[in-house]
Homo-oligomer: A and B are copies of this chain.
């Protein structure tokens, strides 16, 4: 399908600079843009490519003022990244959706699903599950007994949802995600062995949660591990038992949150962050990649770095001096030498 710049600008409520009749039929990255494609410029790191791309249309922020002549037609919008998201969503919504029950899938008779279910090959649904409408479950998914699933969810291949967990509406779980495995709980006994503490709780995912591939969320020992509305977790993240993650918090890949910690809403954590158990983290806290959080964070909106972490500006100042430690030592050596000389002079 082909679209003109005019049609796209109308859809986005954007302004055209250039040829309103230029036509595109595909989307490209700005550095690889070809004639007949639409691209976008949202990250200023890529501004130079705006002058060299062969893409026919570039969606840009209104604030963008070209410093050189452009070959492409611009569509100016309030937020270029949001605009490309809307266009790609439109494109996705036009693709046919998978529906139907694959003959090589198995749902126990005590379970029920709403209309427009897609159940892929070799997927297994246990006893007494309740599945909403318009749910797409790819091959090799495991859904344990007594699981409840809302509407419009998508579970990609190999997702595993243990018994008794609850998934809200509009959730997306990627390949290999494990929801509801046992929390890591052991009590030492007299013989230096550990005895397992049974984990009798569950995991609750609220609406619009998306979870990246091979991320694991353990069930609560007692009660629920809770992922609130709109939370986005990247790949290979570990969420331990009884953790609560607040609304619209976003966590990058390979981060880990230890048991019973409560994370606020609208937080943003970089990759490979580690958070100790039994803490409370305030709302809107931002944590730099690879940082470690050893104690509760009470200040809303705090921005932290380091392992253990402290305020990011302070961390970065200290780190500048860490790099200069050899010269600091030389200065101390020199001071000691001079002081000794001075002392002897007196």
> Interface on A for B, CB 8 Å cutoff?
27-29, 32, 39, 43, 45, 79, 81-82, 84-86, 88-89, 91-92, 104, 106, 120-122, 124, 138-140, 142, 144, 156-158, 160, 162, 172, 174-176, 178, 181-182, 184-189, 192-198, 200, 208, 210, 212-214, 216, 218, 220, 222-223, 230, 232, 234-236, 238, 240, 242, 248, 250, 252-254, 256, 258, 266, 271-272, 274, 276, 278, 289-290, 292, 307-308, 310, 314, 317-319, 321-326, 328-329, 331-332, 335-336, 338-339, 342-343, 345-346
Contacts and interface: CB of A to CB of B under 8 A. Distances in A.
B292 A290 contact: yes
Contact of A329 (B79, B82, B139, B321): B321
Nearest to A310: B323
Contact of A346 (B88, B160, B345): B345
Contact of A200 (B27, B82, B319, B338): B27
B289 A91 contact: no
B187 A79 contact: yes
A308 B288 CA distance: 11
A322 B325 contact: yes
B194 A232 contact: yes
A252 B184 contact: yes
A135 B139 CA distance: 21
Contacts of A160: 140, 156-158, 175-176, 213
Given A88-B200, A197-B84, A214-B216, A254 B253 contact: no
A89 B236 CA distance: 30
A27 B176 CA distance: 31
A129 to B, nearest CB: 13
Contact of A236 (B138, B140, B238): B238
A213 B181 contact: yes
B138 A156 contact: no
B322 A248 contact: no
Question: Which of A208, A242, A321 has the most chain B CB atoms closer than 10 A to its own CB?
Answer: A321
B45 A278 contact: yes
The 4 closest A-B pairs by CB, nearest first: A321-B325, A142-B157, A88-B198, A175-B178
18 contacts: A28-B223, A43-B278, A81-B187, A85-B198, A139-B142, A158-B178, A172-B182, A176-B178, A176-B216, A184-B212, A184-B234, A186-B250, A213-B216, A216-B235, A238-B253, A272-B292, A317-B326, A339-B339
A287 B339 CA distance: 42
A172 B318 CA distance: 44
Given A124-B140, A314-B326, 12 more contacts: A89-B196, A120-B124, A121-B124, A172-B182, A184-B212, A194-B230, A214-B216, A214-B236, A216-B236, A234-B238, A252-B258, A318-B323
A95 to B, nearest CB: 10
A185 B214 CA distance: 17
A8 B95 CA distance: 59
A174 B238 CA distance: 14
